[in-house]
Amino acid sequence: MQKIKEVQEQQPFAHWLNGVEGIGGVWARKLVEAFGTPKEVYRASEESLLAIAGSSRLAGLLAAQKREVYKEYEEMDQEGILFLPYYHPEYPKRLLQIPDSPFGIYVKGKPPRDGERSIAIVGARNCSAYGRYVADAFARVFAREGVCVISGMAKGIDGVAQGGALAAGGSTYAVLGCGVDVCYPACHGTLYEKICASGGVLSTYPPKTAPSPRYFPPRNRIISGLSDAVLVVEAKQKSGTLITVDMALEQGREVYAVPGRITDRLSDGCNWLLVQGAGAALSPAQVLRELSETVWRNHQPDGCKAGAMTLGESTAGAGRVIGKATGEIDRQERALLSLLDFYPISVEQIYMMAQREKLLCALALPQLMELLWRLVVKGFVMDEGGYYGLKKPI
């Protein structure tokens, strides 16, 4: 099974074996080891299959033997989808180390390279503006430092993180709970295309498999398995994200959590992880520095980006950097800025605060609105659909 040519010849059968009903990763591997090659499994007689696989798996195998192996494989091949069985030289080595490692993995785009540093960014789908901002900011810095971002392309944190990595020109890999040719969620069509182009979309499920709730927990173990560390941005106390964390711990991956306010239910999961001993992610630079001292100590930059650790300025303040904006501000604008926080609040709340603090008291609502928008235009303040907060760093 060592020669590339031989591996190539076996590809249609490996793909076939991966799709057999009732045969999981462990059994597929056992069958290949018993028969020598997937092709032999395909050609095996009923008696020999019964002897090795047992009666419960026999029916599935026999039914599958009737399928047109080459045609199915060619269809997939034409769509540019790769199948990497565990013995394939391009099969990610990291996956071989994890318990219950998959028999093979489908890839649309490029498979992740073994030398590449990678961090998974995961979190809630119903995330807050804070979570969205943090995921985006971390992913951008990681991408700039040549660390690839791995996630599940889900709505919320996952998608935002991958979008951020792409925007910063980095590579990112998405692990799906459906076939790699199925874009789920459908609203991430553009993101999906971009990920295929710059990184890759991965799945253990054969192409055309529709998403199903039971497919998602197993795919979470691939996300953590492909990464050196898992960063949780926002998660509720009981969530799928925490399943990924469990998998990561089982696989011996580093776990980082972004601390949140104790009043935010969306940060409960993260804060709880911190209590349990997860690393606190205070800024992307700090996470990268800690990882480079531990997991990546022996990492050789493989040419993707030279001078990997040029953190310099961004290390300072660990995230508490106030955005530099342009333009002069007058006394009134300064007073208004003093009322605002990074957490956006409504005009109503700002008006109430101004009344309470006896700041800008004389200002009527229309003038307050003008003042706010002047600051938005000057880049000091962010407008989030009628809610205003200080512009965040990065």
Partner 1 sequence: MFSAVNTGGIRGMDAYPVRVEVDLSRGLPCFELVGSAGSEVKEARERVQIALKNEGMVLPVSKITVNLSPADIRKEGTGYDLPIAAGLLACMGVFHASDFLHTAFLGELALNGEVRRINGVLPIVIALKKEGMDTFLVPAENAGECAAVPGIRTVGIRSVGELLCYLKADEEERQKRFPTYERESAGQVKGSGKDFAQVYGQESVKRAAEVAAAGFHHLMLAGAPGTGKTMIAERIPDILPPMTEEEKLEVSGIYSIAGKLQTEGLMEKRPFLAPHHTVSPQAMAGGGRIPRPGLLSLAHRGILFLDEMPEFSSAVLEVLRQPMEEKRVHIDRSYGSYTYPADFMLVCAMNPCPCGYFPDRNRCNCSPADIRRYLGRISGPVLDRIDMITEAAPVAVKDLYEAREAENTAAIKQRVLEARERQQFRYQKSPYHFNGELPGSEVKKYCQPSFGGQRFLEQMSEAGQISARAFHKILRLARTTADLEGREKIEQTHLAEAVCYNSGRRRFWNQISM
The residue from 48, 387, 392, 393 that contacts partner 1 (CB under 8 A) is 387
Q: What is the DSSP letter of 299?
A: P
Name the one range near partner 1 by CB under 8 A: 222-230, 259-267, 278-286, 311-319. 259-267
Residue 385 Cβ vs partner 1, minimum distance, rounded to whole Å: 3
Distance CA 44, CA 218 (A): 29
- Residue 357 near partner 1 by CB under 8 A: no
The residue from 366, 389, 390, 392 that contacts partner 1 (CB under 8 A) is 366
Helix (H, G, I), strand (E, B) or coil at 250: helix
The residue from 6, 68, 100, 370 that contacts partner 1 (CB under 8 A) is 370
Cβ-contact 54, 73 below 8 angstroms: no
Residue 386 Cβ vs partner 1, minimum distance, rounded to whole Å: 3
Query: How far, rounded to the nearest angstrom, does the alpha carbon of residue 239 sit from its chain's CA centroid?
Result: 15
Which of residues 312 and 385 has its CB atom nearest to partner 1 in the complex?
A: 385
Name the one range near partner 1 by CB under 8 A: 107-115, 192-200, 213-221, 374-382. 374-382
The residue from 263, 298, 300, 326 that contacts partner 1 (CB under 8 A) is 263
Around Cβ 96, how many Cβ atoms within 10 Å?
13
149 phi-psi bin (left φ>0, alpha ψ -120 to 50, beta other):
beta
The residue from 30, 155, 299, 392 that contacts partner 1 (CB under 8 A) is 155
Helix (H, G, I), strand (E, B) or coil at 148: strand
Distance CA 96, CA 30 (A): 15
Residue 324 Cβ vs partner 1, minimum distance, rounded to whole Å: 16
- Residue 305 near partner 1 by CB under 8 A: no
- Residue 79 near partner 1 by CB under 8 A: no
- Residue 339 near partner 1 by CB under 8 A: no
Residue 350 makes CB contacts below 8 A (sequence gap 6+) with: 336, 339, 340, 368, 372, 388
Distance CA 38, CA 30 (A): 11
Name the one range near partner 1 by CB under 8 A: 38-46, 99-107, 121-129, 295-303. 121-129
Name the one range near partner 1 by CB under 8 A: 71-79, 261-269, 280-288, 291-299. 261-269
Burial class (CB in 10 A: 0-12, 13-18, 19+), 173: buried
The residue from 212, 237, 276, 346 that contacts partner 1 (CB under 8 A) is 346
Name the one range near partner 1 by CB under 8 A: 7-15, 58-66, 107-115, 376-384. 376-384
Distance CA 57, CA 325 (A): 65
Burial class (CB in 10 A: 0-12, 13-18, 19+), 60: middle
- Residue 265 near partner 1 by CB under 8 A: yes
Distance CA 62, CA 385 (A): 59
Name the one range near partner 1 by CB under 8 A: 15-23, 77-85, 138-146, 366-374. 366-374
- Residue 383 near partner 1 by CB under 8 A: yes
- Residue 264 near partner 1 by CB under 8 A: yes
Name the one range near partner 1 by CB under 8 A: 27-35, 115-123, 127-135, 298-306. 127-135
How many residues are present in the chain?
394
- Residue 277 near partner 1 by CB under 8 A: no
Q: Which of residues 234-253 bind partner 1 (CB under 8 A)?
A: none
- Residue 310 near partner 1 by CB under 8 A: no
Give which of 266, 225, 230, 221 is closest to 142, Cα–Cα: 230
Distance CA 63, CA 58 (A): 9
Distance CA 151, CA 227 (A): 9
Give which of 224, 215, 255 is closest to 101, Cα–Cα: 224
Distance CA 293, CA 287 (A): 10
Q: Which of residues 187-216 bind partner 1 (CB under 8 A)?
A: 187
Cβ-contact 116, 302 below 8 angstroms: yes
The residue from 347, 359, 393, 394 that contacts partner 1 (CB under 8 A) is 347
- Residue 394 near partner 1 by CB under 8 A: no
Q: Contact residues for partner 1 (CB under 8 A)?
A: 125-128, 132, 155, 187, 263-266, 346-349, 351-352, 355-356, 365-367, 369-370, 372-374, 376-377, 379, 383-387
